[in-house]
Structure 1
Amino acid sequence: MIRVSVALVPLILAATPTLAQTHAGHGATSPTRQASPPTQGCVATGSATTTTGGAGMSQSPASACPPETVPAGAASAGHDMSTMGQAQPAHATAGHDMSTMPMAPAAAGQADPHAGHDMSTVGQAQPGPATAGHDMSTMPMAPAPAGQTDPHAVHDMSGMAGMTMPPDVPTSADNPGRPPQAPPPPGALDGPPHVADQIFSAGDMAAARRVLLGEHGDIRVGAVMIDQLEATSVDGEEGYAWDAQGWYGGDIHRFWWKSEGEGEFGGELEEAELQALYSRAFTPYFDFQTGLRQTYRPEGDRTDLVVGVQGLAPYWFEVDAAAFLSNKGELTARAEAEYDQRMTQKLILQPRAEVNLSAEDIPELGIGAGLSTLQVGARLRYEIRREFAPYVGVEWTRSFGATRDFAEARGRSAEDTRLVVGVRAWF
């Protein structure tokens, strides 16, 4: 038995190097494997001229040499196992050395499908899209089949990223970016202007046009605006005042009336006036007005010719300005402006200013030449409804020049401040 064991020792020692080469490192090749010389014009796989792609991957040129013959027993030959046991990246091929992997040659008559592909980013974590991080600049474009035109020819794709097509909306600007619109067909405007005239009688068409005009423009409207109806208090004296106007007519031509005045409770009427005017719109926001004004004063009544304008100025200022020529040749003027500052949907602050001018002294009426009086005030109203709003406010009045002298000569103050409480309404 001892002789048999001693005889087997040389056999075991002879077999040990072969087993060590098979499993140690899992990267050694068979000792009997002979590398065939590279074909002429080819680059041997794994040589210094082999192109290296992504992390841990090598790729030989398109003209790679034919695959080498590898014995069946060396299935794991060419694998780099140096990183086994370490954490690998998410990419499936990261950390694998593919430099010695033979590349399958392209079939005869076929181009290499990978020729021109940039594989430098293979093995790295890629963004969400499938092609993100791939350089496609060198990819050859497939030519169009014979007899067919390229469907993308004459298409400008340079601004595709973030491109927004302009809307096809006609504008006054000459915008070359808007798609052109074809003119109407030649026969589109050859027919009669009113085809219905050839079907219905002239009387029926006239009646229909009158209805259309009445429903779409020739409408008569009217309104009454009581801008101020208030009680006043100044220096312990209680008084009243009003300012109202109204109109009736169409969009262009209207009859307009205005009335305002003031007095003392239990006393005489200080001043009142009534205007009857013809109003014509000369812009969408302003009307020209002319007519007559009748004024009642304790000192004497006047009848005046009125010429003025009224409307909505820019920034929503309501403006009313007029000149008056009395039956005694006295020329005066007045200008008013007010603005509705909306604090909330129902609470509105209305600043207001009024200026009175005169071309000459009128001692009978206590009016001096130049700037006679200035009145500035503000009213805060609360709209219970749009048509009805109570308010409170304050108003300051001052006389200038000869008007101040006339007021002081009659025992009146040239300046006063009054509190007002009233209501504003319209219907």
Structure 2
Amino acid sequence: MSRVTKAVAGASVGLMLAVPAAHAQHHSHPPAQQDHSLHRAKSGTRAAATQQQADSGANAQLEAARPANDRAGSASGADHSKMGHSEMDHSGMDHSKMGHSQVDQSTTDHSKMDHSKVGHSAMDHSGMGHHQADSSAAPSHPSIHDRPPPTGLPVPAPTDEDRAAAFPDVHGHTTHDQRVVHFVQFNRLEAWNDDGEAGQAWEGHAWVGTDHHKLWLRTEGEREDGETVSADIEVLYGRPVAAWWDFVAGVRHDFQPGGSQTFAAIGVMGLAPYKFELQATAYIGQAGRTEARIEAEYETLLTNRLVLQSLVEATLHGQDDEGRGVGSGLGTVEAGMRLRYEITRRFAPYVGVAWERAYGNTADLRREEGHALEETRVVAGVRVWF
């Protein structure tokens, strides 16, 4: 074989060996490239798992945010995550009573909605047309009218009609009926012992009649060492003239001091502001004798049964009357405080202190007769009414 022939044959054999080797090298992956492909496959798997966990967490948050009634309804009813609403028959379900009020259903396609991620408490199904599904197991939501009313609603301002209904104008005393009733009370039935000298006193009133017309009886007096030193009785007609106030007119008869005397009487009695009981009466007697008597009384409720009564009484005279031991001007002022305990409302014993002082010409007449101008005594008694 010639040299040329040997050279051509060697080149052909080399070419045939080189082509398969190059083809094999072209289709094989180097180790680094194979590791990179495996890493991308593992990363895709982890990303899918992470996405699944995120979806599960979101579903759990939505489930926790849903009201308890919706979760109970979802547990007892259908699984909306697997139900296509395009195939459901909701014709038997009353969604008008469901509290779904935050989703606009006009543009919502429920056939493509994943209900496993949507809280039904935020949806209004009242306008949806759902067909072909049996809703007998659907949850029953309470009507909004069955729920308790919300608190904190503003109170409307009272109108003139509301005020008129709550506070009617009674125009004085309201007539309840025309029955004849009566009342008797002794405000003071008391005794004392001052330096061996015993004394007693009384003060009371009574009335009989209707709400508009009453006959009043009033009396007061004192006894010392078994003798009556002062006593009088009044017979008066009374009629209400304003709320809490009565006008009275009649006669007063004095037994002592100075013997029997009769006076015409006119005055008012009632409840003054701040709950002061007030009596103011003027008297006109024989020979132009005049007199005025003002009495104010206030009661302090210490407990439901323990009451402190404060009393002030003043007497004024128009002229001197030596037979009665009184002079013109301010005659006497009497004040007292009595603490009573109401065993019943009708019967209440008390203890107290009474003080009396003479002034002006009355004080001069007492001084001439040897009587004290001022007296203070401790008293005990009872207050009764029936």
TM-score category, normalised to shorter length? 0.5 to 0.7
Equivalent-residue separation in structure 1 for 2:214 and 2:365 (angstroms): 39
SS of the equivalent of 1:315 reads: helix
> When you count helix as a share of all residues, which structure comes out higher?
2
Aligned pairs, number: 274
Correspondence for 1:410 = 369
**What residue in structure 1 maps to residue 324 of structure 2?**
365
TM-score under structure 2 length normalisation: 0.62
Pairwise CA distance, 1:310: 1.1
Aligned to 1:179: none
Identity %: 38
Whether the aligned pair in 1 keeps the contact of 2:231 and 2:255 (CA below 8 Å) is yes
Number of the residue aligned with 2:335: 376
Report whether the alignment pairs 1:225 with 2:185.
Answer: yes
* Equivalence for 1:164: 154
* Residue matched to 2:40: 21
CA RMSD of aligned residues (A): 4.0
2:364 aligned counterpart, secondary structure: helix
Q: 1:425 and 2:348 equivalent?
A: no
- Tell me which amino acid in the other structure corresponds to 2:347: F
Structure 2 CA distance for aligned equivalents of residues 264 and 370 of structure 1: 26
Residues 168/375 of structure 1: CA separation in 2 closer, same or farther (3 Å cut): closer
SS in 1 for 2:41: helix
3-state SS in 2 of match to 1:328: helix
Distance, in Å, in 2 between the alignment partners of 1:216 and 1:298 is 43
**1:234·1:416 contact (CA, 8 Å) conserved in 2?**
no
CA drift at 1:280:
1.1
In structure 2, do the counterparts of structure 1 residues 233 and 287 end up closer, same or farther at CA, with 3 Å as the change threshold?
Answer: same
Match of 1:242 in 2: 202
**Aligned pairs for 1:253-264 within 5 A:** 253-264=213-224
Deviations 1:283-326 (A, max 9, x none): 23111111111102243332100001111222222111101111
- Which residues in structure 2 correspond to 1:87-236 (within 5 Å)? 162-164=152-154, 166=156, 170-172=161-163, 217-236=177-196
Matches of 1:245 and 1:93, distance apart in 2: 84
1:298/1:11 Cα in 2 relative to 1: closer, same or farther (>3 Å)?
Answer: closer
CA-CA distance at 1:249 after TM superposition: 0.5
Whether contact under 8 Å (1:261, 1:273) holds in the other structure is yes
The gaps in structure 2 that reach 5 residues or longer are 1-23, 62-105, 110-120, 128-149, 165-174
Summarize the alignment of residues 224-373 of structure 1 with structure 2, pairs less than 5 Å apart.
Answer: 224-266=184-226, 268-373=227-332
Structure-1 separation of matches of 2:108 and 2:210: 85
- Which amino acid in structure 2 is aligned with residue 417 of structure 1? T
Q: For the Cα contact (< 8 Å) 2:176–2:211, is it kept in 1?
A: no
Amino acid at match of 1:17: H
Give 1:262 deviation, angstroms.
0.3
More contact order relative to length (CA 8 Å, sep ≥ 6) = 2
Closer, same or farther in 2 for the Cα pair 1:282/1:235, shift >3 Å?
same
| Residue 162 to residue 355, structure 1, CA distance change in 2 (3 Å) | same
Report the CA distance shift for 1:234/1:328 in structure 2 as closer, same or farther (over 3 A).
farther
Give, in whole Å, the separation in 2 of the partners of 1:223 and 1:161: 50
Amino acid at match of 1:390: P
